[in-house]
Structure 1
Amino acid sequence: MADGFTIANFRHVAHGLQEGQFAVGEKRRAASLYDLPPIYRQLLDEPVTVTLAVTGPDGRPSLTPMWFDHADGEVLVNTASHRNKCQWIRDNPRLSVLLVNPKNPYHWMQIKCTVRRELREWEEGGEDVTRQLDRIWTKYTGQPGPYALRDPKIDEKRVLFFCGVDHVATFGEP
């Protein structure tokens, strides 16, 4: 979004009980994910398994644990083209991602975003999809690429969704 997004910081209990805890304490505008305080930016860059929420055909959220990536102010969602989730994202391009600190569940961040564009591995520029997948493979496994979890029974192809950030909610401290 050219005009940025809102960050809602919830009142938390990291330093003890407080009046109005668990309610939104402050809201501020941000132009980029890089405007987040460092304690939340670290969740973006560390290998935190996130929960991706998409809307299924029955209107209910479908939740998937997955690897997280971002670049140039956008959330990147890389998935196999044959999975239901891929079509569900196309049908309803509004997604939510929840990043929870694995060492402290009271330190988390939610990002609501909207797909801006899609890049398919088998089309022009598709090598960028493969490079991004190899990069997050290394981030999460510590092993060099290529990504080694493609389904061996099919010619698995990947799709990369570039998502603009609409809203961020933050809670807690590491």
Structure 2
Amino acid sequence: MLSDRVRARVAAAHFWHLATVNPDGSPHVSPMWVDIEDDHIVFNTAVGRVKEENLRRDPRLSLSCVDPADPYDRVVIRGRAVEFVLGEEADRSIDALARKYLGVEHFAWRVPGEQRVKVVVQPTHARHVVGVEPFRPGSGPSRPPER
């Protein structure tokens, strides 16, 4: 499902923006650290965060990332949260992300009493676009204007 170019972007230490759906249908967007495990995208948050509550209620999500060297080179991944992992595995996951993004052994920004959760995402659609994205078939300048 994920091309080599998309996998390379996820494997790099780039910041991603995670969009989830609030209870009222509006979007909630958070910058995130992400990684790839087999054919899944993973990220980590804390139990009780808006993104975690949104995904438990509605697992649909979108992730986007621009190349820091070229903001016209971007990747968008849509998918579903398919697993919420708690306990030691979640703690190891946030430490692995801290090593990837910060070069440190342990995530140091824990809030007293928080419970970490590793979120596993099954991608359903991924696209890599450089430059101007083409119009979808049946839309764009060839379509008659609405009246």
Of 70, 74, 98, the residue aligned with 1:104 is 70
What is the number of equivalent residue pairs in this alignment?
131
In the alignment, which residue of structure 1 is the partner of 2:14? 48
TM-score by length of 2: 0.83
Asked whether the equivalents of residues 56 and 62 of structure 1 are also in contact (C-alpha less than 8 Å), the reply is: yes
Taking only aligned residues, the RMSD between alpha carbons, in angstroms, comes to 1.4
Does the 8 A contact of 2:7 with 2:36 survive in 1?
Answer: no
Cα distance in 2, alignment partners of residues 113 and 43 from structure 1:
16
Q: Secondary structure at the match of 2:108?
A: coil
The SS at the match of 1:105 is strand
AA aligned to 2:121 is: C
SS of 2:72's equivalent in the other structure is: coil
Kindly state the Cα deviation for residue 84 of structure 1 after the two structures are TM-superposed: 2.0
- Return 5+ residue gaps in structure 1 as ranges: 1-29, 122-126
- Matched residues in 2 for 1:37 and 1:134: separation? 25
The CA distance in 2 between the partners of 1:117 and 1:48, in whole Å, is: 23
Alignment of 1:19-168 (within 5 A): 30=1, 33=2, 36-38=3-5, 40-121=6-87, 127-143=88-104, 145-151=105-111, 154-168=112-126
Letter of the 2:130 counterpart: G
Q: Which amino acid aligns with 1:55?
A: V
TM-score, normalized by length of structure 1? 0.71
Q: Check conservation: 2:32, 2:43, Cα contact below 8 A.
A: no
Give distance in 2, aligned partners of 1:60 and 1:135: 31
List runs of 5+ in structure 2 lacking aligned partners: 132-147
Q: Equivalent pairs: percent with the same residue?
A: 31
